[in-house]
């Protein structure tokens, strides 16, 4: 008899097969030999022993958003409407669900460098209003980090809006910019080894101009860490010059590679709208899970999720790190 037990471990399902093996009693002999002493861990003759075989079966979860040609959210997709590929090889979707009510684990990363000093107070108030609109008591958790010359955890994960509000209003602008370190440390320390169940959305919201002049981590190291932690990055650019700057492109890359989105409010008042759009998107997501048949080589694998329904565009993370054999 065989029984299966399953445990989900960070994107890998560990299937445990328990085989109940019945041991037949020895045949009777005319002069039976002396019986050896029964080993301590051996079941008595004629009783069942459980042989446990553990087999790792990897499953890759992907959160995604679907929009139409007018950038309106599409919320009625079915599993049959989707196709997913791993390193350009089509994969089998084994699970699909609309994840509008998934608990949120959000990191709010705020640039407090000198470059944003003149518009800092408005950004603070817009962030507070965003948190008031998105946090569900007892369900969602938010932590607050600031970054200038250094990265500081201002408020650890909580669902207490008043604690977060005090943290945001305590921020002071000044110093250099360590954007990459902020994303790297938030992904590594808050998401990579978290004890949350798989069915949780891990989101980083970065407010800043995309410049970096003080990080120890490189841009590519930072992106790799965010991908390993399965963090979705939304960015709100603070460049209001009307001209695309190098930092804008960096913010776009972090968002596009992780399945998030970038916003560039031209007027300060538009920042509130950007936060509202993030809230709406987080409540309009889907999740799928596929069983990869590509090599388990420990390398980064490119994935693509496409809609088979005409006119629908899917936004999802661009890849994942496979396990090693």
CA torsion sign, 246 to 204 to 182 to 123? Answer: positive
Residues 163-200: tens digit of each pLDDT? 999 999 999 988 899 999 999 999 999 999 888 765 78
The fold for domain 104-282 equals: Rossmann fold (3.40.50)
Taking the chain, what is the end-to-end CA distance rounded to the nearest angstrom?
28
pLDDT of residue 31: 52
Confidence of residue 102 (pLDDT cuts 50, 70, 90): confident
CB-based contact 87:301 (threshold 8 Å): yes
Residue 151 neighbours by CB distance under 10 Å:
21
User: Between these two residues, 321 and 101, which has the higher pLDDT value?
Assistant: 321
pLDDT of residue 119: 77
Mean pLDDT of 78-91: 97
pLDDT of residue 211: 93
Distance of CA 28 to the CA centre of its chain: 62
Per-position DSSP letters for 207-255, written without gaps between them:
EE-S--SS-SS-HHHHHHHHHHTT-EEEEEE---SSS--HHHHHHHHHH
Confidence of residue 86 (pLDDT cuts 50, 70, 90): very high
Residues 125-143: tens digit of each pLDDT? 889 989 998 999 999 999 9
Does pTM surpass 0.85? no
Residues ≥6 apart with Cβ < 8 Å to 15: 4, 5, 6, 54, 55, 56, 57
pLDDT at 212 over 70: yes
Distance CA 257, CA 301 (A): 12
Residues 27-40: tens digit of each pLDDT? 444 454 555 554 44
């Amino acid at each position: 008899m065989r029984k299966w037990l399953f445990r989900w471990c960070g994107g890998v399902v560990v299937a445990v097969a328990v085989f109940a093996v019945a041991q037949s009693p020895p045949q009777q002999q005319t002069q039976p030999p002396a019986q050896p002493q029964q080993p301590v861990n051996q079941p008595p003759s004629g009783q069942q022993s459980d042989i446990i075989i553990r087999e790792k079966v990897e499953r890759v979860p992907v959160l995604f958003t679907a929009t139409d040609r007018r950038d309106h959210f599409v919320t009625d997709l079915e599993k049959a409407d989707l196709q997913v590929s791993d390193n350009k090889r089509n994969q089998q979707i084994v699970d699909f669900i609309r994840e509008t009510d998934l608990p949120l684990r959000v990191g709010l990363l705020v640039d407090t460098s000198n470059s944003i000093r003149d518009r800092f107070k408005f950004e603070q108030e817009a962030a507070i209003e965003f948190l008031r609109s998105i946090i569900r008591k007892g369900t969602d958790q938010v932590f607050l980090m600031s970054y200038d010359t250094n990265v500081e955890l201002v408020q650890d994960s909580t669902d207490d809006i008043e604690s977060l509000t005090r943290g945001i209003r305590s921020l002071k602008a000044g110093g250099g910019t360590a954007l990459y370190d902020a994303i790297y440390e938030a992904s590594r320390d808050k998401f990579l080894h978290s004890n949350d169940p798989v069915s949780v959305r891990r989101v980083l919201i970065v407010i800043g101009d995309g410049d970096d002049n003080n990080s120890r981590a490189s841009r590519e190291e930072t992106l790799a860490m965010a991908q390993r932690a399965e963090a979705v990055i939304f960015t709100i650019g603070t460049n209001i010059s009307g001209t695309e700057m190098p930092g804008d492109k960096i913010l776009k890359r972090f968002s596009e590679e992780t399945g998030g989105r970038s916003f560039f409010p031209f007027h300060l008042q538009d920042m509130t709208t950007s936060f509202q759009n993030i809230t709406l998107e987080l409540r309009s997501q889907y999740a799928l899970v596929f069983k990869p048949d590509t090599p388990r080589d420990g390398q980064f694998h490119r994935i693509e999720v496409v809609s088979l329904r005409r006119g629908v565009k899917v936004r999802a993370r661009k890849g994942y790190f496979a396990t090693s054999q």
